[in-house]
Structure 1
Amino acid sequence: MADSPSAPTRIRTLPSWLLGRAAARGRRLVAEALARHDMKMWHHVVLAAVADLGPVAQADLGRAVSLDPKDMVGILNDLQAAGLVVRTVDPTDRRKNAVSLTADGERRLEECTKAGERANGELLGPLSAAEREQFLEMLRKVSGVR
């Protein structure tokens, strides 16, 4: 990652600034990889969550990925129009929609998961396998994710 010529040295040494730069590079790499499969980042997040949770109530899905309900509707509309998810009446509560992956959705998710893994591999390419493990463990500690 090249240093930003406009960032003062004092800023470039801050962990928060470095994490932000790494995150921005990671998002760019993953977004580019997903775009080659006609997928946007949030669409991929929702598709992956449906795979993990589905069939899942639309409202529960939004809470699971911390997405505003209006944004969730738009993303689900896009995914449904592409034939990647279906919304049906939730059998446990007929007032709700249950979201499930289609066979095409499962295939696209698999392609995008592999593309995302390759992009993350590129992001962490300068690190050895041991350094990657250590780095990921440190990120989990700092972010509070286990």
Structure 2
Amino acid sequence: MYDRGSGPSSPSEEIAYLLAEAGRAVDALMAERPGMRLLGPLHQTVLRTLSDLGPHARLDLAEQLQATPTAIAQVIDDLLAQGLMQAMVVNMGGRHEVVALTAAGTAALTTMQNDLESLHSTLLASLTKGERAQLRYLLRRVRASATRAGVLPPSSP
């Protein structure tokens, strides 16, 4: 349980402290899971997007995720090297390289989702289902404020 007497003196300091501590806890738990260590946040987002929306051309994927083509190219190269996606050339209105998930990519995504569920169960064990929903809502609002302030890039759902 959090001991208010030993923490920061003002509510603003306390909130900043608690958010930082929660972030460190998430990072520590994610680092314990092999699948999460191999895949950075953008890698995970690319896998999720390909799973949800199907194969994409590199530039279309960068546009869909609001990421730079250079960042997406690096992630795609990493995922291709790990065998989590495959590339194919498609000739439709010009020559395009399209990337798609492999069976290994789908399995990695499933492992990642299971790891996240386990992480949530560990960190949010003391919260009710309603409190978890409220926390998600509040954190999305905090992230949106950070995005509007230019601190974070736009996110994909």
TM-based fold match above 0.5: yes
Of all paired residues, the percent bearing the same amino acid is 30
For residues 26-45 of structure 1, what are the structure 2 equivalents within 5 Å? 26-33=26-33, 35-36=34-35, 39-42=38-41, 43-45=43-45
Question: Is the contact between residue 29 and residue 123 of structure 1 (CA under 8 Å) also seen in structure 2?
Answer: no
Instruction: Classify the secondary structure of the residue corresponding to 2:83.
Output: coil
TM-score, L = length of structure 1 = 0.75
**SS state at 2:38 partner:** coil
Match of 2:13 in 1: 12
Measure how far apart 1:72 and its partner are.
Answer: 1.6
Higher RCO by CA contacts (8 Å cutoff, separation 6 or greater): 1
Moved over 3 A (4+): 16-21, 90-95, 140-146
Deviates more, 1:42-51 or 1:134-143: 134-143
Provide the aligned length of Structure 1 versus Structure 2. 142
**TM-score calculated relative to the size of structure 2:** 0.70
* Deviation, structure 1 residue 45: 2.0
User: How far 1:83 moved relative to its partner?
Assistant: 1.2
One-letter identity of the residue aligned with 1:67: A
Q: 1:17 to 1:66 in 2, by over 3 A?
A: farther
Match of 2:23 in 1: 23
1:9 counterpart SS class:
coil
Unaligned runs of 5+ in 1: none
Q: How does 1:21-100 map to 2 (within 5 A)?
A: 21-33=21-33, 35-36=34-35, 39-42=38-41, 43-100=43-100
Summarize deviations over 1:64-109 as a string: whole Å, max 9, x none.
3333222221211111111110111244343432110011111111
Deviation at 1:130, TM superposition (A): 2.5
For 2:73 and 2:137, the matched residues in 1 are separated by 35
State the alpha-carbon separation in 1 of the partners of residues 74 and 63 from structure 2.
Answer: 15
The answer to whether the Cα contact below 8 Å between 2:35 and 2:111 also exists between their aligned partners in 1 is no
Instruction: Give the alignment of 1:105-144 within 5 angstroms.
Output: 105-144=105-144
2:89–2:98 Cα contact (<8 Å) kept? yes
Distance 1:74 1:126 in 2: 39
Q: Is the 8 A contact 2:86 2:101 kept in 1?
A: yes
Q: Post-superposition shift, 1:56?
A: 0.9
Which secondary structure does the structure 1 equivalent of 2:125 belong to? Answer: coil
Aligned-residue RMSD, C-alpha:
3.0
Instruction: Give the SS at the match of 2:61.
Output: helix
